Chains A and B, each alone.
Chain A
Amino acid sequence: MLNNITLGQYYPVDSPVHRLDPRVKLLLTIVFIVAVFLAKSWIGYLLLTAFIVFSARMAHVPLNMLFRGLKPLRLILIITFLLNLFFTAGDTVWVSFWVIRITKEGFLMALFYSLRLMFLVVGTSLLTLTTSPVALSDALEILLSPLKVIRFPAHELAMMMTIALRFVPTLLEEADKIMKAQMARGADFETGNLVTRARAMVPLLVPLFVSAFRRASDLAMAMESRCYHGGEGRTRLRVLKLTGNDAAACGITAVFLALIILEGILF
């Protein structure tokens, strides 16, 4: 029933991109996002497209997997497109009807902004497709650790993220079980209006919360009994090391960024 919900979208194959240091990948993704905002012309967009297609090829990720991330956002994409289409002032009027005025400038602007949104989503999807959630929170911890100076709890945050991710499948399984058990007692989760359906969730949510709290307390106990006391002095199982692979990725991205900046100046 709930098993078609997969957590994250990690695409487990072996590729040069998968093998990149997660810290580097995270930083390069940020660079890519900056580049998306720097690109001012269609030539810039051509460069962005080329970069995405090249990275996806290197990552052995099929392009349709990459575009799957856009699906949940289609409504936002459509709204962005329509808003820009109708509310951009311009001179070359294409359609004029009642209060609606569609201009060439509006159409181009709409296309430009929707594409920008798509680039952002696809670029970050590439990160989550090629990096396991655990590696990602590891990277985040290290990258945020300089902030410890201002008492930012980098380790605790990363630990919380890792634990939360770890428990999502467990709780999904639990929810599935409780749902079935209540259905066996005649509960109906599928029919009725919004209010009846929301009320029908009570027999599912209460046991789920109870079990989540029980698990949390068990886990806290288990961690404490193994002397966990936060990040101080803790060593890691997987020590992240930079390799030539990472240097190459940085190089390629640097060239790409330079091209984008050049494009901004020239066009």
Chain B
Amino acid sequence: MSIEVRHLTHCYSEGSALRTVALEDVSFRVESGEFVGIVGHTGSGKSTLVQHLNGLLKPTSGQILVDDVDLNAEKTDRRALRQRIGLVFQYPEYQLFEETVEKDIAFGPRNQKLPQEEIDRRVAYAMECVHLDQKEIGPRSPFELSGGQMRRVAIAGVLAMKPSVLILDEPTAGLDPMGRDSILSMLEELHSRDRITILMVSHSMDDMARLVSRMLVFAEGRLIADGTPREIFAKERMLTSAGLARPEAAQLCCRLRDAGVPLPADLYRPEELKQHLLRLWKEGAGC
């Protein structure tokens, strides 16, 4: 499933004194199977963009095409499309409401009016996707789980609709390192195993460095860069002007280079930095 955004502009409170432009002339295309990261400083329009992608907000001007069908055309069935484009909001655990975890996850499929067997299958699938034990967690109340577990239940609630595109707004915000790690590895698996197209909004450049194959950088409602993480992280000045930092590994690499260590300039993953350093150390130890 491909998503194409054409000249999207969105203004809040159009036609009043409080009019603010949240997005301005944004265009890009995401192909099926991509893992795209959307980064930007607070107020850069990321969350507004994300809500457009499954039709919760209507563009002031411009178009969003899903598989070349205009999302906001009169005859488009937005509810059907919404179920194919799963959207996980920021702090999704605040949307949980049912008595048990299983019932909450079943909310989406139930709204799709699926037969009970299929709903059960979907719940089992979704819980497995987010690494929650259905026997243990399934019958419990979602309100007695830990923060990380609640978030995984909420993500399962979206996955149970079997979307072909998954959009996540800050999926790791406010989690401890372990909770964060489990969410990220879960996303990695969903992308590689289930071939789900993923768009992830994040502040964390380290999350980006670990997962995505392409990045969209936003600043003040405009798309200012679109490329692979390696290309993006090499443009330090552009990132700084957008109010963003580079991943920690890239920063460390930069400082090591300043200190005279012969490293390539474009390293940004902890793993590759480690390998380069180990090789240098071995070479140094050899002579």
Contacts and interface: CB of A to CB of B under 8 A. Distances in A.
A202 to B, nearest CB: 7
Nearest to A182: B95
Contacts of A185: 95, 107-108, 111, 157-158, 161
Given A178-B95, A207-B96, A186 B56 contact: no
A203 to B, nearest CB: 5
A178 B89 CA distance: 9
Contact of B112 (A181, A182, A184, A186): A186
B79 A188 contact: yes
Contacts of B158: 184-185
A180 B89 contact: yes
A3 B12 CA distance: 10
Nearest to A187: B111
Contacts of A180: 51, 56, 89
Nearest to A1: B56
Interface residue SS majority, chain B = helix
Given A177-B89, A210-B143, A184 B94 contact: no
A207 B83 contact: no
A41 interface: no
A10 to B, nearest CB: 15
A38 interface: no
A207 B143 CA distance: 10
Interface string A153-186: 0000000000000000000001001101111111
A211 interface: yes
Most buried by B among A3, A181, A203: A181
Interface string B60-82: 00000000000000000001001
A181 B92 contact: yes
Nearest to A186: B111
A206 interface: yes
A255 to B, nearest CB: 38
Contact of A210 (B51, B94, B108, B157): B94
B45 interface: no
B28 interface: no
A198 to B, nearest CB: 15
Contacts of B221: none
Nearest to B105: A185
B149 to A, nearest CB: 16
Interface residues on A, range: 10 to 19
Given A181-B89, A210-B143, A203 B97 contact: yes
Interface in A185-208: 185-188, 202-203, 206-207
B79 A186 contact: yes
B87 interface: yes
B54 interface: yes
A3 B13 CA distance: 9
Contacts of A174: 94
B247 interface: no
Given A185-B111, A210-B143, A178 B87 contact: no
B171 interface: no
A203 B87 contact: no
Contacts of B83: 186
Nearest to B107: A185
A90 B282 CA distance: 111
Contact of A181 (B13, B95, B143, B161): B95
Interface in A1-27: 3
A3 B82 CA distance: 22
Contacts of A202: 97
B97 A184 contact: no
Nearest to B90: A177
Contacts of A184: 54, 56, 82, 86-87, 89, 158
Interface in B104-125: 107-108, 111-112
A185 B87 CA distance: 8
A71 to B, nearest CB: 19
B95 A183 contact: no
A181 B157 CA distance: 11
A211 B161 contact: no
A80 B83 CA distance: 50
B107 to A, nearest CB: 6
A188 B111 contact: yes
Interface of A: 3, 174, 177-178, 180-188, 202-203, 206-207, 210-211
Q: What 9 A-B pairs come out closest when comparing CB atoms?
A: A186-B111, A206-B97, A181-B95, A184-B87, A185-B108, A181-B89, A203-B97, A180-B56, A207-B97
6 contacts: A183-B56, A186-B111, A186-B161, A207-B97, A210-B94, A210-B143
Given A186-B82, A186-B108, 7 more contacts: A180-B51, A180-B89, A185-B111, A186-B161, A187-B107, A207-B96, A210-B143
